[in-house]
């Protein structure tokens, strides 16, 4: 989802992924119970092998999946005829992209200088 | 954050045991409508209790960071969705409601809209009868034209001027605004004149009580009136109940929980609704956007967010014809930008890399004026929480297609190098002809077009005909003797302009009238 957006050095990239996961969880914790359940169900579908293969076309488990297979799955969901898959796409998109770009670590690459400094009054 | 909260603010997430409170008037929700009502009613000498599900956060808490503002100050982390997840709804959830996080653009109700409401819903207001109320409210919130444009708004003016399209300066509710551009995260310098900084402190001075992190769960009826409000305290995170309950008993109840919120509470409480109208006709001003890549930096995250608007296409086919729209700029901090840009992977990364050069425009679709625009409808999940469904049809998609084209036309006229739509099938276009041809072909489908709303209206329609309205022309519930709705849910269609000033104004008028009748009783 964020290919091309994360820092390259492995250590920094892992830190960024940690950051995104923390942000993802933080956001989910602030959703009402109904939405939390939907997200849990979505993640279950993605992890459970039969539904994973059925819905994403990915035979390999997530740890072993290569980037192009993941890209193909995301893109299939994005443009799927089934609105259920398209809505799964938007949920993952907003949560993952949102979590990364609200964190200051992402700002240098996109040239966002951050909020202005307020002189203390 | 002040060291200790004033005595009459209770953060219910901290309560260890159940509470029972009595008052003359209980107000559910402290946003645009609730804030004004609390001020008017407490100044009239009535004992007011405000019930707010969000937290009390104020100037010193606002840090211009999306990462803490969205979870704290918005419903569903600024990512509330319709049932099909096709529309993202931004709605405030804090003391001050939407006014704490809104972008401060203020408009009077368009003449066309008022005339439509008179003709179709029996409204009696017109611009003359409302004039004194506008004046009062505009002075209370210091609403004045703000002709200081950031690069984004300048581009809107430049493009519209070049095309000979109508455009205007926007009036804003600010005092000594420093043009920071972070209104959506709460104003960090106290410039924004939200109800949080105006009405609510006034109400507190007149001994109103403010209960925060407290959700009104059910209005409990006895005979033909509400006897008590059952409320659930929420944890500090703000979504789950702690188990502590607060009962509020009042002579009169003002419902000001906003669109979605007010009808949901009526539905949960099973208030009489013989014509099945509650929650129906919920309107969103569905919003679509396009992005221009400019040669010079735009820095779309800085500067007063909205200072220019074009109404060129607002009434493009008359009031009840093809859907019209209002054109505005938007502030674009990276988190909001990342969700608005539908693409993923490398393409998303590239788009985000251009953020400092991006100039966003939006069209706010005027829904509700045509037979084929009946709006959305609120229902309840099994746990009683609200769910909005909003069917999307060709009438709307035709309007959206038209809007994409106009937005891009302005951006090219303003000198954009390339332009794209917030739509999964959009590419970058290098000139207007190419863009126009592409928009003709773009599939208009949910999840392809990124759809937003920051203006939830309707659901408790005010009108003269009892078979078509939830509340009468004063906002009083038609079947409950002591319930008045004072918020954006009373509008019978969308407004065709950002709703805050219309809500403040009607709230001022309604609550003055209510104060008089409660004092006489
Ligand atoms: C990001 C953003 C930008 C905006 N920009 C503009 C702008 O520039 N100009 C403009 O005119 N409008 C703008 N708006 C819209 C405007 O702020 C809202 O239309 C307006 O605040 C709605 O007023 P309201 O009284 O209907 O409800 P709200 O202001 O939404 O207040 C309702 C309150 O009720 C509370 N509530 C709901 N249910 C319950 C319950 N059961 N128990 C207790 N409390 C409850 C909510 O937490 C909320 O605080 C913007 C909105 C957003 C979100
Ligand atoms: S633009 Fe003005 S009102 Fe908005 S946050 Fe900045 S100083 Fe406050």
B44-94 tens-digit pLDDT: 999 999 999 999 999 999 999 999 999 999 999 999 999 999 999 999 999
Separation of alpha carbons B222 and B231, rounded Å = 17
Query: Is pLDDT of B2 > 50?
Result: no
User: B335 and A83 in contact by Cβ < 8 A?
Assistant: no
Pairing of strands B377-380, B241-255: unpaired
Q: What is the pLDDT of residue B343?
A: 81
Q: What is the mean pLDDT of chain A?
A: 86
B344·A86 Cβ contact <8 A = no
* Ligand 1 neighbour B98 (Cβ under 6 A): yes
pLDDT of residue A1: 84
Residues of B in contact with A119 (CB under 8 A): none
Give the pLDDT of residue B5.
Answer: 60
pLDDT for the residue numbered B65: 96
The set of residues, in sequence order, having a beta carbon less than 8 Å from that of B4 and lying 6+ positions away, is: none
The model's pLDDT over B276-291, given as tens digits with 9 standing for 90+, comes to 999 999 999 999 999 9
| Side-chain half-sphere exposure of B91, counting CA atoms within 13 A | 24
Contacts of B182 (CB under 8 A, 6+ apart): A115, B62, B64, B188, B301, B331, B333
Question: Vertex B374, ends B368 and B377: CA angle to 5°?
Answer: 115
Q: Which residues contact B439 (CB under 8 A, 6 or more apart)?
A: B401, B404, B405, B408, B421
Number of H helices, E strands in chain A: 6, 0
Q: How many domains does chain A have?
A: 1
Is residue A121 domain-resident? no
Of A56 and B303, the one with more pLDDT: B303
Percentage of residues in chain B having pLDDT higher than 70: 99
Task: Categorize the per-residue pLDDT at B310 as very low, low, confident or very high, splitting at 50, 70 and 90.
Answer: very high
Would you say residue B472 has pLDDT above 70? yes
Residue B313: pLDDT over 70: yes
In the CATH scheme, what is the homologous superfamily, with its name and number, of domain B9-57+94-141+196-280+459-520? FAD/NAD(P)-binding domain (3.50.50.60)
For the CA of B32, the nearest ligand:
1
Q: Would A4 be classed as within a structural domain?
A: no
A84 or B61, higher pLDDT: B61
Calculate the CA B498 to chain-centre distance.
8
- Alpha helix (H) residue ranges in B91-172: 98-101, 111-121, 127-140, 151-163
The reported pLDDT for the residue numbered A120 is 55
pLDDT band at A52; cut points 50, 70, 90: confident
Which atom of ligand 2 is closest in space to residue B178's alpha carbon? 7
A111–chain B Cβ distance below 8 A for any pair: yes
Residue A82 has pLDDT above 70, yes or no: yes
Indicate the domain borders of chain B.
9-57+94-141+196-280+459-520, 145-182+286-453
Instruction: Measure the CA–CA gap between B320 and B128, rounded to whole angstroms.
Output: 23
Q: B216: helix, coil or strand?
A: strand
The count of CB pairs under 8 A between chains A and B is 130
* 3-state SS, residue A78: helix
B38 touches B200 (CB < 8 A): yes
In this model, does residue B515 exceed pLDDT 80? yes
pLDDT at A121: 46
Buried b (16+ CB within 10 A) or exposed e, B432-447: bebbeebbeebebbbb
Which carries the bigger pLDDT value, residue B249 or residue A37?
Answer: B249
B256 Cβ contact partners less than 8 Å away, ≥ 6 residues apart: B27, B28, B29, B30, B31, B33, B34, B37, B262, B485, B486, B487, B507
Above 60 in pLDDT, residue A39? yes
Task: Summarize the confidence of residues B208-216 as an average pLDDT.
Answer: 98
Residues B343-357, mean pLDDT to the nearest whole number: 90
Per-residue pLDDT at A4: 83
Contact A86 B66 (CB under 8 A): no
Judged against a pLDDT cut of 80, whether residue B4 lies above it is answered with no
Comparing CB atoms, the residue among A2, A4, A111 nearest residue B356 is A111
Which numbered ligand comes closest to the C-alpha of B63?
2
Q: State the pLDDT confidence band at A66, using cuts at 50, 70 and 90.
A: confident
When comparing pLDDT for A61 and B324, which is higher? B324
Residue B252: Cβ within 10 Å count: 22
pLDDT in tens, B414-455: 999 999 999 989 999 999 999 999 999 999 998 889 999 999
In a domain, A115, yes or no: no
Nearest to B334 among A33, A75, A101 (CB): A101
Mutate to test the interface with A, among B85, B90, B177, B234 (most CBs of A within 10 A): B85
Closest to B136 in 3D by CA, of B508, B397, B460, B439: B508
Mean pLDDT (chain B) is: 96
Test mutation, B352, B354, B443, B451, chain A, max A CBs within 10 A: B352
Nearest CB partner across the interface for B352, out of A30, A71, A101? A101
Query: What contacts B396, CB < 8 A, 6 or more positions away?
Result: B286, B323, B365, B367, B373
In the reported structure, the alpha carbon of residue B475 is separated from the centroid of ligand 1 by a whole-number distance in angstroms of 18
- Contact between chains at B76 and A3 (C-beta distance less than 8 A): no
Q: Which residues pair with B252 in a beta bridge?
A: B25
Question: Which residue, judged by its Cα, is nearest atom 39 of ligand 1?
Answer: B257
For residues B191-211, average pLDDT: 97
Structure-block tokens of residue B378: 């609120």
Q: Pick the residue from chain A with its C-alpha nearest to B352.
A: A110
| A71 DSSP β-pair partners | none
Cβ neighbours of A86 in B, within 8 Å: 85, 446-448
pLDDT band at residue A33 using 50, 70 and 90 as cut-offs: very high
Residue B101 pLDDT level (bands cut at 50, 70, 90): very high
Q: Nearest CA of chain B to the CA of A49: how many Å? A: 24
Q: Which residue in B251, B216, B196 sits closest to B39, CA to CA?
A: B196
Give me the DSSP letters along B473-495: TTSBBSS-TTEEE-SGGG-SS--
In whole angstroms, what is the distance from residue B477 CA to residue B382 CA? 25
Residues of A in contact with B355 (CB under 8 A): 110-112
The minimal CB distance from A106 to the residues B81, B239, B334 is found for B334
Residues 7-66 of A with CB under 8 A from B: 23, 26-27, 29-35
Q: Which of A67-71, B113-117, B424-428, B474-478 has the lowest mean pLDDT?
A: A67-71
Residue of B nearest to A89 (CA): B447
- Point out the ligand nearest to the CA of residue B216: 1
- What are the two backbone dihedrals, phi and then psi, of residue B376, each rounded to the nearest 5 degrees? -100, 180
Q: Taking CA B330 as the corner, what is the angle to CA B189 and CA B238, rounded to the nearest 5 degrees?
A: 60
Retrieve residue B388's tokens: 């909005």
> Considering only CA atoms, which residue is closest to atom 8 of ligand 2?
B187
Task: Give the residue numbers spanning the domain of A88.
Answer: 10-106
């Amino acid at each position: 989802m964020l290919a091309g957006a994360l820092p390259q050095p492995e250590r920094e990239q892992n830190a960024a992924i940690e950051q995104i996961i923390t942000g993802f969880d933080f956001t989910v914790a602030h959703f009402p119970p109904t939405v939390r359940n939907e997200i849990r169900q979505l993640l279950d579908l993605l992890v459970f092998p039969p539904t994973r293969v059925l819905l994403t076309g990915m035979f390999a488990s997530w740890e072993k999946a290569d980037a192009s297979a993941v890209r193909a799955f995301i893109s299939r969901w994005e443009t799927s005829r089934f609105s259920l898959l398209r809505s799964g796409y938007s949920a993952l998109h907003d949560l993952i992209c949102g979590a990364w770009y609200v964190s200051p670590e992402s700002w240098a690459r996109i040239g966002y200088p951050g909020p202005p400094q307020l002189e203390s009054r | 954050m002040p060291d200790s909260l004033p005595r009459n603010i209770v953060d219910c997430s901290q309560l260890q045991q159940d509470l029972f409170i009595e008052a003359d008037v209980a107000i559910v929700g402290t946003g645009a409508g609730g804030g004004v009502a609390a001020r008017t009613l407490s100044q009239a000498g009535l004992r007011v209790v405000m019930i707010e599900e969000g937290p009390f956060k104020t100037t010193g808490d606002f840090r211009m960071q999306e990462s803490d503002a969205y979870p704290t100050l918005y419903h569903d982390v600024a990512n509330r969705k319709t049932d099909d997840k096709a529309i993202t709804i931004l709605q405030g959830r804090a003391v001050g409601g939407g006014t704490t996080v809104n972008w401060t653009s203020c408009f009077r109700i368009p003449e066309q809209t008022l005339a439509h409401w008179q003709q179709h819903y029996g409204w009696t207001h017109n611009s003359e009868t409302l004039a004194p109320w506008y004046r009062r409210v505009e002075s209370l919130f210091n609403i004045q034209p703000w002709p200081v444009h950031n690069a984004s708004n300048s581009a809107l003016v430049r493009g519209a001027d070049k095309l000979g399209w109508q455009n205007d300066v926007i009036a804003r509710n600010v005092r000594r605004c420093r043009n920071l551009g972070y209104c959506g995260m709460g104003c960090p310098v106290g410039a924004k004149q939200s109800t949080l900084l105006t009405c609510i402190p006034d109400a507190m001075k007149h001994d109103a009580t403010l209960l925060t992190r407290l959700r009104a769960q059910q209005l409990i009826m006895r005979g033909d009136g509400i006897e008590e409000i059952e409320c659930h305290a929420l944890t500090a995170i703000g979504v789950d109940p702690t188990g502590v309950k607060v009962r509020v008993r009042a002579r009169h109840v003002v419902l000001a929980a906003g669109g979605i919120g007010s009808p949901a509470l009526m539905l949960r409480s099973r208030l009489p609704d013989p014509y099945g109208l509650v929650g129906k006709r919920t309107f969103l001003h569905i919003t679509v956007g396009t992005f221009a890549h400019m040669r010079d930096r735009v820095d779309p995250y800085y500067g007063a967010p909205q200072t220019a608007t074009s109404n060129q296409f607002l009434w493009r086919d008359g009031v009840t014809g093809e859907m019209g729209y209002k054109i505005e700029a938007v502030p674009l901090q990276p988190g909001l930008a990342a969700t608005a840009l539908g693409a993923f992977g490398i393409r998303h990364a590239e788009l985000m890399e251009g953020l400092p050069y991006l100039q966003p425009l939006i069209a706010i679709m005027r829904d509700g004026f045509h037979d084929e625009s009946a709006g959305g409808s609120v229902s309840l999940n099994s746990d009683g929480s609200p769910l909005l469904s909003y069917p999307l049809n060709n009438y709307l998609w035709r309007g959206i297609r038209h809007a994409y084209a106009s937005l891009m036309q302005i951006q090219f006229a303003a000198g954009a190098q390339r332009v794209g739509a917030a739509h999964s099938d959009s590419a970058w276009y290098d000139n207007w002809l190419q863009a126009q041809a592409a928009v003709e072909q773009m599939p208009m489908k949910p999840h392809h077009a990124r759809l937003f709303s920051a203006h939830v209206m309707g659901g408790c329609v005010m009108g003269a005909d009892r078979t078509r309205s939830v509340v009468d022309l004063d906002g009083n519930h038609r079947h409950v003797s002591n319930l008045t709705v004072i918020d954006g849910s009373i509008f019978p269609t969308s407004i065709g302009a950002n709703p805050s000033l219309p809500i403040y104004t009607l709230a001022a008028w309604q609550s003055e009238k209510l104060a008089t009748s409660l004092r006489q009783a």
